[in-house]
Chains A and B, each alone.
Chain A
Amino acid sequence: GAVVSQHPSRVICKSGTSVKIECRSLDFQATTMFWYRQFPKKSLMLMATSNEGSKATYEQGVEKDKFLINHASLTLSTLTVTSAHPEDSSFYICSARDNGGGGNTIYFGEGSWLTVV
């Protein structure tokens, strides 16, 4: 089946530095990808919608200058957390929409644990 790969799965960075998380659709092209943040034992919070070749659409309350999203190709979207702080520590999950076959099915990546120390 369709697979969405996220890298890295775990990352620890120092406060004030930036960290990049990649999201790849491995066997389908995704014009649209989504980035979520999930706190322990909580539901997924949509941060932004990433559109290939155009600017991302951010949800209300999400700082676009802090969470930079780039969707440079049909199989890759990246999330860069800039000037990270401990409160940015979280589980970040991407998903990609497979438009093939008219199904519009959304598949999720495995998630990336970010710890800012």
Chain B
Amino acid sequence: QQQVKQSPQSLIVQKGGISIINCAYENTAFDYFPWYQQFPGKGPALLIAIRPDVSEKKEGRFTISFNKSAKQFSLHIMDSQPGDSATYFCAAASGGSYIPTFGRGTSLIVHP
């Protein structure tokens, strides 16, 4: 059972455009939702994270939107740049353990 569903699997965006990646979860006990960015051959790096007490969190060009009732959250990358080309993983964690359950990942390519 896939607890965190991520879409799309791949995404191609032009430079300057907006990249949007969506995730949905089923376990209502999840209370921590991080996004990770992974470049080829490297480990994932924490990009931005949100907790369910807020509906939106913005850090620079990256914004998480969170819809608790729909059990969905999304990552928006504004003014996408070629350097943003990477694989993005959403995750969800709960119960104080904060062991993330990962989505399948989205391969983002930003064309110059």
A joins B in a complex: yes
- Residues of chain B lying within 8 A (CB to CB) of residue A67: none
The B-contacting residues of A in range 84-103, CB under 8 angstroms, are 91, 93, 95, 97
In the complex, residue of chain B having the shortest beta-carbon distance to the beta carbon of A107: B46
The answer on a CB contact under 8 Å between A42 and B32 is no
Is there a chain A Cβ closer than 8 Å to B54's Cβ? no
**What is the CA–CA distance of A105 and B107 in the complex, to the nearest angstrom?**
24
Determine the distance from Cα of A110 to Cα of B103 in the docked complex, in whole angstroms: 19
Nearest CB in chain B: distance from A50 CB, A: 12
Interface residues on B, range: 20 to 34
> Across the two chains, which residue of chain A brings its CB closest to B32?
A104
In the complex, per-residue mask of A37-61: 1 if CB is within 8 Å of any chain B CB, else 0: 0000111101001000000000000
Find out whether the CB atom of A110 lies under 8 angstroms from the CB atom of B89: no
When C-beta atoms are compared, the residue in chain B nearest to A108 turns out to be B43
Residues of chain B with a CB closer than 8 A to A105's CB: 46, 49, 98
Give A6 to B43 CA distance when docked, in angstroms. Answer: 10
Q: A106-B34, A106-B98, A108-B36 are in contact. Are A43 and B45 (CB under 8 A)?
A: no
Chain B residues within 8 Å of A6, by CB:
43
Taking a contact as CB atoms under 8 Å apart, the answer to whether A43 and B103 are in contact is yes
> Would you give 30 A-B contacts (Cβ < 8 Å), ordered by A?
A6-B43, A34-B99, A41-B105, A42-B104, A42-B105, A43-B89, A43-B102, A43-B103, A43-B105, A44-B44, A44-B89, A44-B102, A91-B41, A93-B43, A93-B44, A104-B32, A104-B96, A104-B98, A105-B98, A106-B46, A106-B98, A106-B99, A106-B100, A107-B46, A108-B43, A108-B44, A108-B45, A110-B43, A111-B43, A113-B41
Q: Which 9 A-B pairs have the closest CB atoms?
A: A108-B43, A111-B43, A104-B98, A110-B43, A108-B44, A43-B102, A93-B43, A43-B104, A109-B43
